[in-house]
Amino acid sequence: MLLATIAASATVGANVEEIDLATANERTVRVATFNVSLNRRDAGELLSDLSKGSQQARQVAAILRTVRPDVVLLNEFDFDESGEALRVFQQQYLEADPGPGSVAPLKYPHSFTALVNTGVPSGVDFNNDGKTDGPTDALGFGWFPGQYGMVILSRFPIDRNSVRTFRRLLWKNLPAAAVPVDPVSGKRWYSTSAWNTLPLSSKSHWDVPVIVAGQRLHLLAAHPTPPAFDGPEDRNGRRNHDEIRLWAEYISPGDKPWLLDDKGVAGGLPHGRSFVILGDLNADPVDGDSYSTAINQLLQHPRVNGDFTPGSDGAIAAAAAQGRANLRHRGSSRYDTGDFSDSVVGNLRIDYVLPSNDVAIKKGAVFWPAPGDDHFDIANCSDHHLVWLDLMLPSVSK
């Protein structure tokens, strides 16, 4: 496959259209997820920053142009109804000719984005502070509707008629939900009105099928809430667990009349479909504050190919240099994807590309250069690092 690799410099000045045409009929696809931290405090601020020229966005684009994924999920890219911020990012940062000696432009003819729950007012009190109008009282934490949004960019066509979203699915409808309980009173943390209003997804859950060489690959994209910023009731940790569980339910067999998408269609992913679960899932397998090993619901799922764990030398170097909380971790720092406060949390593996078990993993990595490596200077644009896998789809059409 004529895709540029991170270590190679052959992409510099390469003709992107020629690369696209050369790989159009192959079954190998580079899939990535990247929490780009292109979120802002106020609505419209991201578009303003991008229009003026954002150094952070230039670094994000440089990483994407270096790794050159065929399909990528961007987490924390603020949503705006007009799509103007995404258009500016694509045209002025990904597609613009950077000049001699720079990484070639990158074009994605297909994209998908939609409103997420973050910042959408609920009118009820979710954090039991007696108020109903704060960011914690939104359907998902946020200061304005669409903050911390999601975007899928793809070289391959998207089957838009088959896209399913689960933004409105209520948490209470999940069977045996991990309901938060006030440890003092022993009662459910949420009031009846709050529990009847709160969606399961803090942003959204998307099933976006792309067509690769005549085959359908379902992109299962999400960004569960962090299992933090709460109290002993662990309401965010439990919501994170159940947001992850939603995908485990979605790919498991059996009738699920409760699993209603936003169009009112019930049920999970049909048997035999190829998929890849993508996103900042905010759950480390062994470290951090995850509730009840949340991510193992996917890593140990019989339909998930979890045999290969992408890693980086940069993550090892960062954990060693930063020390503190990292020294207490049980998991290997090689697999970390997020760089967080070393006094409390430390670095964690929380960003994932998890294909179905009928999809072969050829190679992959975390884009986290070590000091002295190429591109080290652009890797600090977010507190997350891009994760990518090269996947070989099965030969039988799904």
The model's pLDDT over 330-342, given as tens digits with 9 standing for 90+, comes to 999 999 999 998 8
Matching residue, tokens 């891009």: 386
Q: What is the mean pLDDT of the chain?
A: 91
Phi (first) and psi of residue 66, to 5 degrees: -80, -50
User: In what helix (H) or strand (E) does residue 242 lie, and over which residues does it extend?
Assistant: helix 235-250
Q: Which fold has domain 16-392?
A: Deoxyribonuclease I; Chain A (3.60.10)
Are the C-beta atoms of residues 149 and 79 closer than 8 Å to each other? yes
pLDDT > 80? residue 12:
no
What is the total residue count of the chain? 398
Task: Quote the tokens at residue 103.
Answer: 């990484």
Band the pLDDT of 55: cuts 50, 70, 90.
Answer: very high
Q: In percent, how much of the chain has pLDDT > 70?
A: 92
pLDDT > 60? residue 66:
yes
Higher pLDDT, 22 or 71: 71
CA atoms of 144 and 142, how far apart (whole Å): 6
Could you tell me the residue ranges of all domains in the chain?
16-392
Residue 351, SS3 per DSSP:
strand
Mean predicted confidence (pLDDT) in 260-272? 97
Q: Sort 309 into a burial class: Cβ within 10 Å, 0-12 / 13-18 / 19+.
A: middle
Residue 128 contacts by C-beta under 8 Å, 6 or more apart in sequence?
189, 191
pLDDT of amino acid 135: 97
Helix axes 45-52, 55-67, angle to 10 degrees: 80
Task: Quote the tokens at residue 32.
Answer: 């990535």
pLDDT of amino acid 43: 96
Residue 246 contacts by C-beta under 8 Å, 6 or more apart in sequence?
166, 169, 174, 200, 201, 205, 222
pLDDT > 90? residue 18:
no
Are the C-beta atoms of residues 385 and 67 closer than 8 Å to each other? no
Band the pLDDT of 204: cuts 50, 70, 90.
Answer: very high
